[in-house]
Amino acid sequence: MDGKIILRTEALTKHYGGVRALEEANFELREGEHVAVVGDNGAGKSTFVRQITGVEQPTSGTIFFDGQEVHFKSPIEARDAGIETVFQNLALADDLDVPANLFLGREEIYFNLGPFSFLNERKMMERTEEALRATGVKIPDLRNKIRNMSGGQRQCVAISRSASFASKLIIMDEPTAALGVQETAQVENIIRGLKRRGVPLILVSHNLRQVFDLVDRIWIFRRGRIVGAVDRNKTDGNEIVSLITGVKTGVGEEAAFI
Amino acid sequence: MATTTTTTAVGEPKRRVLPPEFNVFIGLLVIAGIFELLGWFVRGDSFLFNLQRVSIIILQVSVIGIIAVGMTQVIITGGIDLSSGSVLAMTAFIAMSFAQVSSNARAVYPSLTDLPVIVPVAIGLGVGLLAGLINGVLIAYTKIPPFIATLGMMVTARGVANWYTRGQPVSFPTESYASIGQGMMPVIIFAIVAVLFHILLKYTLYGRRTYAVGSNEQAARVSGINVERHLMLVYAIAGGLSALAGIVLSARGQTAQGGMGLMYELQAIAMTVIGGTSLTGGRGSIIGTTLGMIIFGVITSGFTFIRVSAYYQEIIMGIIIVGAVVLDVYRQRLRGRI
């Protein structure tokens, strides 16, 4: 892979009291690249995601995003910088419809009257239709409340929401964990669409079949450390599993810079 | 280039659902119909086809209706405001004390009489907004449950109302102040408030944030909505509307006295919940609350019409309030089953 590095962490470390959840993680992601973050439960995957999305602040280490050192104090700051995250627990308001959810917190308004500004519903509806077309999601009635939708439709809305705002990076934490076969396929199609559009992605997943189908490069976490980063084409499921479980060690940092 | 035709829609077929207010409207028709029938049985007279009676029904509930509008937006955020009746009393006393005529020998502020009507109205609204803002700050920043925060304000504001004139009623307002409550003015003021808040909740950022906070506070937060600031605004506005109700009520009675607005908050909650607003937050509308208010008025006037004694009426009122909440819980369960 070449192209400029969009996200890089240096010795990123997070301790919760005495628990070393993440130790000296050196990670990098290039423009247009799709990578997976895999590892056993408690390997530090979600901790890693929480540091780079501003949900938590790292104990030590640095994060470089889009060429600059960043210190996100909140997910909103990360989002403003161009990092969109699809969280494991769906961050949707159940009683609102699709456009309202897509534009939650960044509504289109006619003219600024502070909190009493009038919503430009038509513009939001048009841009929602556009965004769903771009991600290939079909939802029969966009005015329907999220509450009345299936798990797959909800996840598609959540992902479209992240994908439709011209972001520099999308992070998905287990996007298909709670979905059925058909719904999973739908989400995977959206991810392929992002690849075609050149939007970089970090996919946290337990599903190795999915990882091999979708990403260019796989980062393996074990017990709070990055133990390997391998190109999808140069590895197989057995190697990944042995890195995850720790049967095979020592590839570590060398593998990361092949 | 791969196609995305495989992404067929997953889910149920498209189906037009009636707005939830429709059920409330049917409920209103049924209840009015029952009283019409009972009226013919008991009194041999029509309950509904009497313009004077109908306008009195609406007039009687419109002051509490103003509170119910504020209550609706509070309940949509997933909160509750128990202080409305006390804030009404407190602002009625304070506003009236700046609205007295100079011919009154026992004016609260003898040097501040015959003031233009804008003075007592502005002071009253200011006091109500402040009380609501205190509720909002407590709820947003100390994270105490709205039930407790507003219960504290309920007791405190009632105390302020009684302390303000040491329990003495405040009477004899200027003509212009009294005119705020005369004739059908309370209904007109309610209508303006209801239309305004219908627009606010349905077409502005304010409404969008209100529903979002009540629907999923976490989602609202990660989406960049300043939840704390919004809650402060919502409770402050609710306090302002309680104050408006206090001004209208004191202008109508031309007096402010102890015991004003007692249990108005509970009646406003009942109107709101009867109108389809969910106590768990996220759902509700001003149209629903307006219908709930009319249902409430029809029931109370209906019982009087068929000569149910006032004692029974209080008991029945309690049953209606609990019944409305049971109905809400039942609706939630139905929704969960689908």
Each residue's pLDDT tens digit, B312-325: 888 887 888 788 88
ipTM over 0.85: no
Q: Which residues contact A182 (CB under 8 A, 6 or more apart)?
A: A152, B10
Token reading at A184: 């999973």
Q: Do residues B188 and A66 make contact, with C-beta atoms less than 8 angstroms apart?
A: no
Residue A166, pLDDT score: 61
Residue A161 domain flag: no
Of B10, B205, B218, the CB nearest to A153: B10
Cβ within 8 Å, pair A92-B219: yes
Higher pLDDT, A41 or A26: A26
Q: Which of A18-22, B204-208, B334-338 is modeled with the greatest confidence?
A: B204-208
Residue B12 C-alpha, separation from nearest chain A C-alpha, in angstroms:
8
Q: At A37, give phi and psi (nearest 5°).
A: -115, 115
- Report the residue count for chain A: 258
Residue B105, pLDDT score: 75
Confidence of residue B224 (pLDDT cuts 50, 70, 90): confident
Q: Do residues B224 and A106 make contact, with C-beta atoms less than 8 angstroms apart?
A: yes
Distance CA A169, CA A179 (A): 23
Angle in degrees, 0-180, between the axes of helices A121-135 and A181-196, rounded to the nearest 10: 100
Residue A249: pLDDT over 80:
no
Residue B3 domain flag: no
pLDDT in tens, B232-273: 999 999 999 999 999 999 999 999 998 899 999 999 999 999
Residue B306: pLDDT over 90:
no
Distance CA A41, CA A34 (A): 22
Q: At A58, give phi and psi (nearest 5°).
A: -65, 155
Cβ within 8 Å, pair B203-A119: yes
B245: left (phi over 0), alpha (psi -120 to 50) or beta: alpha
Range of the domain at A182: 5-93+168-253
Among B236, B313, B235, CA closest to B267? B313
Amino acid (1-letter code) at residue B324: A
Token reading at A238: 């057995």
Which H/E stretch holds residue A75? Answer: helix A75-81
Q: How many domains does chain B have?
A: 1
Residue B183 C-alpha, separation from nearest chain A C-alpha, in angstroms:
32
Residue A152 domain flag: no
Residue B171 domain flag: yes
Of A95, A100, A138, the CB nearest to B9: A138
Which H/E stretch holds residue B70? Answer: helix B51-76
Of B203, B205, B212, the CB nearest to A115: B205
Residue B182 domain flag: yes
In total, the C-beta contacts within 8 angstroms joining chain A to chain B are: 107
Tokens 């287990």 locate to A174
Among B210, B212, B230, CA closest to A96? B212
Range of the domain at B106: 20-332
Chain B residues with CB under 8 Å of A121 CB are 203
Residue A50 domain flag: yes
Half-sphere exposure of A119 (CA within 13 A, CB side): 22
Token reading at A16: 């919760």
Cβ within 8 Å, pair B224-A182: no
Mean pLDDT of B331-337: 69
Residue A160 domain flag: no
Cβ within 8 Å, pair B7-A137: yes
Q: At A242, give phi and psi (nearest 5°).
A: -70, -30
Distance CA B157, CA B84 (A): 9
Residue A243 C-alpha, separation from nearest chain B C-alpha, in angstroms:
33
Residue A139 domain flag: no
Residue A137: pLDDT over 70:
yes
Read off the CATH number of the domain in which A34 is found.
3.40.50.300
- Out of A191-195, B11-15, B259-263, B264-268, least confident range: B11-15
Confidence of residue B16 (pLDDT cuts 50, 70, 90): low
Residue B6 domain flag: no
Residue B184: pLDDT over 70:
yes
A213 touching B (Cβ < 8 Å): no
pLDDT in tens, B124-183: 999 999 999 999 999 999 989 999 999 999 999 999 999 998 989 999 999 999 999 999
B103 touching A (Cβ < 8 Å): no
Residue B26 domain flag: yes
Residue B14 domain flag: no
Q: Do residues A79 and A46 make contact, with C-beta atoms less than 8 angstroms apart?
A: no
Higher pLDDT, B107 or B231: B231
Of A109, A116, A183, the CB nearest to B10: A183
DSSP 8-state secondary structure symbol assigned to residue B94 = H
Distance CA B183, CA B163 (A): 31
Residue B96: pLDDT over 50:
yes
From chain A residues 119-178, the ones with a CB under 8 A of any chain B CB are 119, 121, 136-141, 147-150, 152-153
Residue A202 domain flag: yes
Confidence of residue A2 (pLDDT cuts 50, 70, 90): low
Count CB-CB contacts under 10 A for residue A234.
10
Residue A79 domain flag: yes
Cα nearest neighbour of A136 on chain B:
B4
Cβ within 8 Å, pair A189-B224: no
Residue A252, pLDDT score: 46
Residue A253: pLDDT over 70:
no
Distance CA A92, CA A105 (A): 11
**DSSP SS3 for A38:** strand
Q: How many domains does chain A have?
A: 1
Residue B118 domain flag: yes
Residue A187, pLDDT score: 87
Residue A107 domain flag: no
Residue B6, pLDDT score: 36
Read off the CATH number of the domain in which B39 is found.
1.10.3470
Q: Do residues B210 and A96 make contact, with C-beta atoms less than 8 angstroms apart?
A: no
